[in-house]
Amino acid sequence: SSFVGSVRMCIRDSAEANILYPRNVCKSPILTNRASGFSLFFFFMKLIGITTETIFDGEAERIALLLDYGLDQMHIRKPGYLSNDIATLLQQIPEKYHSRLVLHDHFDLAARYSVAGLHLNRRNPQPPTGYKGMIGRSCHSIEEVKNSTDVDYCFLSPIYDSISKKGYTSHFSAEILTNACREGIITERVFALGGITPELLPQLQEWGFGGAVMLGSLWEEKSPEKMQSRMSKLTFSSLT
């Protein structure tokens, strides 16, 4: 698992931000025999986290650890907080990680902290005028995904029963997701959200998702050691 984590980090460092942009699938040669020209290709599903809705002591350090342990992006989603609160959290996160953060609120902070992008939602349905960074959107139906051609990526949810929102159950059958993949609706620019755990990643890959988004399962572990173990399982399961 440490090998897989190291490989992911090497690719991230050398892929010139491809790991951040869902339209560019991270499929890179890891092992190459120069004599034969043979290359072994690995495909990684992108692993994306979403913060809890509340700010807690030590959160910035936890976010940095998760990004160190193999998470590709962290989405900052805290709808109940003011711009100054989010700015304080961003200041506490080391600057080297800012290019792997995405804001769900307070879009005015994007330029100041050089974040990766903005995530549109019901509270913030439009990006700021002239914004040039990555833009995504949350979708809750196949039709919404099909019509979201104006953004770089989509979250589709809930794929499985939500861990963080009790009673928020899956909206999609295996048949619906299989057909959406065959029709080219679910592609590498669509990320699965809702009830995601390591053992489910292979099935998401079969359905054509470019990545997995986690909230409940990501924050269940409290200690750094258990967080690292969880991320090791996720990074290994994301490899095909």
d(C-alpha 130, C-alpha 183), whole Å? 33
User: Looking at per-residue confidence, does 49 or 16 come out higher?
Assistant: 49
pTM: 0.82
The sign of the CA dihedral 114, 116, 122, 125 is positive
Average the pLDDT over each of 124-133, 200-209, 218-227 and give the range with the smallest value: 218-227
Nearest to 77 by CA among 99, 51, 101: 51
How would residue 226 be classed by pLDDT, with cut points 50, 70 and 90?
Answer: confident
d(C-alpha 106, C-alpha 79), whole Å? 9
Q: What is the mean pLDDT of residues 120-148?
A: 95
**Cβ atoms within 10 A of the Cβ of 147, count?**
12
The answer for 112, left when phi > 0, alpha when psi is -120 to 50, beta otherwise, is alpha
pLDDT at 66 over 50: yes
Determine the pLDDT at residue 43: 57
Give the model confidence (pLDDT) of 138-148 as tens digits.
999 999 999 99
How would residue 188 be classed by pLDDT, with cut points 50, 70 and 90?
Answer: very high
Determine the pLDDT at residue 36: 52
Q: What is the mean pLDDT of residues 37-61?
A: 81
Nearest to 214 by CA among 155, 145, 151: 155
pLDDT at 55 over 90: yes
> 3-state SS string over 48-85?
EEECCCCCCCCHHHHHHHHHHCCCCEEEECCCCCCHHH
Q: What is the mean pLDDT of residues 161-179?
A: 85
d(C-alpha 130, C-alpha 207), whole Å? 35
